[in-house]
Amino acid sequence: MTPAKPVVVGSFALGALVIGVVGILALGGQHLFKTSIRVVVIFRDSVAGLEVGAPVTFRGVRIGRVESMRVHIDPHAHRDWIPIYLDLDPDRVTWVNGSAATDRAELQSAVNSGLRAQLVAQSLVTGQLTVNLDLHPDTRAIFDAPTDEAFEIPTVPSDLQNLKDQLLQLDLPDLGQKTRETLLATQKVLETVQIAIGPLAASLQTTLDSTTEAVRTVQADTARTLADIDRLAAETRQQIATNGNDLDRLLQSAEGATTRADALLASLNDMTSAHSALRGDLQASVRDLAASASSLRSLLHDLERNPAGTLLRKERQ
């Protein structure tokens, strides 16, 4: 059997090493050569739903991940705490003054300005949680972790924990008693209103019945009136149909009388015209009557002055 050559064995070993390094870099080994910001946070409420590798965000922008979680128990002091270590990406954090992102002085300045960590629901369906960093300048910084190599960022309760605390602060037995008293008072008011409304409802029903009867009476009278009007219209049409011929004859007679009256007026106009013969005769007769009247007036005048002499002259004549 031919022994293996050292050069061949060395080439295979070197190739395996190169492949291993490339695989490590491809699987995320590039983070081995990057400086990260390692901080620790401690939440006083439950961290159920928070897993290693969960995202760490600042107002929704991802700046890191949850690196690890540990449980610390102090049986003598009867206390325990769970430090959660966060691995922040310095490439995603920039200080305004241009200092290094890993500078603890800048982190402390941010904490003094209100930088706090809070648990936020990542999914309401699965119940997974994330760690969100934000500025809460109105909150007090409480440090719970003992001396540790990582920089601690204070925490604030989550919205769910705040709701639980508010519910716990409620005096539920007293609230239930007050609710029961309110319901009893409401029931008494409803009973009083029902008693007061009873007679009023009866009165309203009586008024409604009276109004309904009056409406029915008016409807009956209206129906009778309309029937009388229809009957009168029918009788009128019948009278017109029956006396139509008489009315026609009366109209014809009226037309004839009108024609004769027109002819008489025409004759009168002819008699009274300026060149009418009848008008001349009438004028001559009027003149003769006027002369006779003048003679008669003269005779009467003479008789009044000398009745005897006048008679003698008359006799002689």
Model pLDDT for residues 34-78, shown as the tens digit of each residue? 567 888 998 877 888 889 999 999 988 999 999 999 888 888 888
Residue 135 has pLDDT above 80, yes or no: yes
Does residue 180 or residue 97 have the better pLDDT?
180
Report if residue 232 sits inside a domain: no
Residue 11 lies in a domain: no
How many domains are there within the chain?
A: 1
Residue 30 has pLDDT above 50, yes or no: no
- Is the predicted pLDDT of residue 206 greater than 70, yes or no? yes
User: Is residue 208 situated within a structural domain?
Assistant: no
3-state secondary structure of 150: coil
- DSSP single-letter state for residue 155: B
- Distance from first CA to last CA of the chain, Å, rounded? 222
* Two tokens, residue 165: 């605390």
Q: Quick one: pLDDT at residue 1?
A: 47
More confident residue, 21 or 270: 270
- Across 89-98, 164-173, 186-195, 229-238, least confident range: 164-173
User: CA gyration radius for the chain?
Assistant: 67
> Is residue 313 pLDDT above 70, yes or no?
no
Strand partners, 84: 41, 69
256-290 tens-digit pLDDT: 777 877 777 777 666 666 666 666 666 777 677 77
Can you give the pLDDT at residue 168?
58
Task: With a cut of 60, say whether residue 150 has pLDDT above it.
Answer: yes
Q: Would you state the pLDDT for residue 162?
A: 61
Residue 93, in any domain of the structure? yes
* Residue 102 forms part of a structural domain: yes
Q: Is residue 22 part of a domain?
A: no
Is residue 29 predicted with pLDDT exceeding 50?
no
132 pLDDT tier (thresholds 50, 70, 90): very high
Of the two residues 159 and 102, the one the predictor is more confident about is 159
Mean pLDDT of the region 146-166 = 72
Distances (CA, A) of 256 to 54, 226, 264, 267, 270: 124, 42, 12, 17, 21
Asked, for residue 201, whether it belongs to a domain, the answer is no
| Percent of the chain topping pLDDT 70 | 68
The answer to whether 50 and 66 are in contact (CB under 8 A) is yes
Mean pLDDT to the nearest integer, 208-233: 85
Q: How far apart are CA 188 and CA 146, in angstroms?
A: 61
Phi, psi (rounded to 5 degrees) for 141: -80, 120
158 pLDDT more than 60? yes
Percent of the chain having pLDDT more than 90? 7
Window from 49-53, 149-153, 158-162 with minimum mean pLDDT: 158-162
Q: How far apart are CA 60 and CA 185, in angstroms?
A: 50
18 in any annotated domain: no
Instruction: Provide the domain limits for residue 131.
Output: 32-163
Between 84 and 123, the higher pLDDT residue: 84
Residue 100: count of CB within 10 angstroms of its CB = 13
